[in-house]
């Protein structure tokens, strides 16, 4: 049975990206949501956003970041285009060398707000034309999302609090009598349908624990180089 699509914002994005083995899912989700609101398909630098979020949170680059730190980084530090600091497949052995290069280019700043994490909030954001950053717990059905593009938990499947992940909600519809939310992942095009999948409300409602929506551009006086 095909999904009855009510809203689909995939046209705001370029191809799905791949974070690899690094804990950078939130940086990818935030960067993709930010780039989509700029009405351009050129990606923004996940590396730059992650670097500044980790500095603000006083966290190691080997661990995931926090939503408050990421929202602060987008607002106050901004992001250049991906070409300004391309994503690193792995960190340098000497972590003191992990820093933005000189001359990253123009920095784009974006305000955002955190929300509770309900399906209703996700649908409202999408209907307003805004991708929604979704933080959630995972379970086995998410990992095996196939070409049918549907993620629906099996009987008895429970959220795994130790498995946390961030995606971007980009659409919603109905499937077999329940709401489904279309998400854009950062595990490359081989996951789901070219990097996207429809999460059933049965899957998402007990697993989504926090959301964020980006809104206005922040006009700040920012140098075009960084040390």
pLDDT of residue 53: 98
Q: Measure the CA–CA gap between 34 and 106, rounded to whole angstroms.
A: 15
**DSSP state at residue 22:** S
Contact 170, 8 (CB under 8 A): yes
pTM, rounded to two decimals: 0.94
Q: What does each C-alpha distance from 203 to 127, 136, 154, 207, 218 come to in angstroms?
A: 21, 10, 9, 7, 35
Q: Which residue has the tokens 């929506």?
A: 213
Q: Measure the CA–CA gap between 180 and 3, rounded to whole angstroms.
A: 8
- Band (pLDDT 50/70/90 cuts) for residue 40 is confident
pLDDT of residue 224: 43
Which of these, 194, 190, 193, 168, lies nearest to 181 by C-alpha position? 168
pLDDT at 89 over 60: yes
- Band (pLDDT 50/70/90 cuts) for residue 25 is very high
Q: Tell me if 90 is assigned to some domain.
A: yes
Model confidence over 156-202: pLDDT tens digits? 999 999 999 999 999 999 999 999 999 999 999 999 999 999 999 99
Helical ranges in the chain per DSSP H: 25-37, 46-57, 67-72, 119-127, 140-143, 201-204
pLDDT at 3 over 90: yes
Q: Tell me if 51 is assigned to some domain.
A: yes
Model confidence over 195-208: pLDDT tens digits? 999 999 999 999 99
Task: For residue 9, give its domain range.
Answer: 4-217
Instruction: Specify the number of domains making up the chain.
Output: 1
Q: Tell me if 141 is assigned to some domain.
A: yes
Q: Measure the CA–CA gap between 225 and 206, rounded to whole angstroms.
A: 43
Q: Measure the CA–CA gap between 165 and 184, rounded to whole angstroms.
A: 12
Top pLDDT among 50 and 117 is at 50
Give me the mean pLDDT over the 80-98 stretch.
96
CB atoms < 10 A from the CB of 35, how many?
Answer: 24
Q: Tell me if 99 is assigned to some domain.
A: yes
Q: Tell me if 225 is assigned to some domain.
A: no
- Band (pLDDT 50/70/90 cuts) for residue 221 is low
Q: Tell me if 44 is assigned to some domain.
A: yes
Residue 92 class from Cβ within 10 Å (0-12 exposed, 13-18 middle, 19+ buried)?
exposed
Q: What are the backbone angles phi and psi of residue 46, rounded to the nearest 5°?
A: -65, -40
Q: Return mean pLDDT, the chain.
A: 94
pLDDT at 226 over 70: no
Give me the mean pLDDT over the 92-121 stretch.
95
Contact 39, 77 (CB under 8 A): no
Instruction: Give the CATH number for residue 116.
Output: 3.90.70.10
Q: Tell me if 159 is assigned to some domain.
A: yes
Q: Tell me if 84 is assigned to some domain.
A: yes
């Amino acid at each position: 049975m095909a999904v009855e699509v009510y809203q689909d914002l995939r046209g705001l994005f370029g191809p799905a990206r791949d974070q690899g083995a690094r804990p950078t899912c939130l940086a990818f989700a935030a960067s993709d949501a930010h780039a989509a609101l700029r009405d351009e398909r050129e990606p923004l630098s996940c590396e730059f956003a992650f670097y500044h979020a980790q500095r603000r949170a006083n966290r190691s680059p080997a661990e995931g970041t926090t939503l408050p730190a990421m929202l602060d980084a987008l607002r106050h530090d901004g992001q250049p285009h991906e070409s300004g600091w391309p994503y690193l497949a792995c960190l340098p052995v000497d972590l003191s060398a992990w820093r933005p290069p000189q001359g990253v280019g123009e920095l784009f700043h974006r305000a955002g707000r955190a929300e509770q994490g309900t399906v209703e909030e996700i649908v409202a954001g999408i209907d307003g034309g805004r991708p929604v950053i979704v933080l959630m717990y995972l379970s086995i059905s998410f990992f095996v999302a196939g070409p049918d593009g549907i993620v629906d938990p099996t009987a008895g499947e429970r959220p795994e609090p130790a498995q946390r992940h961030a995606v971007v909600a980009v659409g919603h519809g109905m499937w077999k009598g329940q709401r489904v939310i279309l998400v854009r992942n950062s595990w490359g095009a081989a996951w789901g349908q070219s990097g996207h999948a429809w999460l059933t409300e049965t899957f998402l409602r007990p697993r989504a624990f926090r959301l964020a929506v980006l809104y206005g551009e922040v006009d700040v006086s920012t140098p075009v180089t960084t040390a």
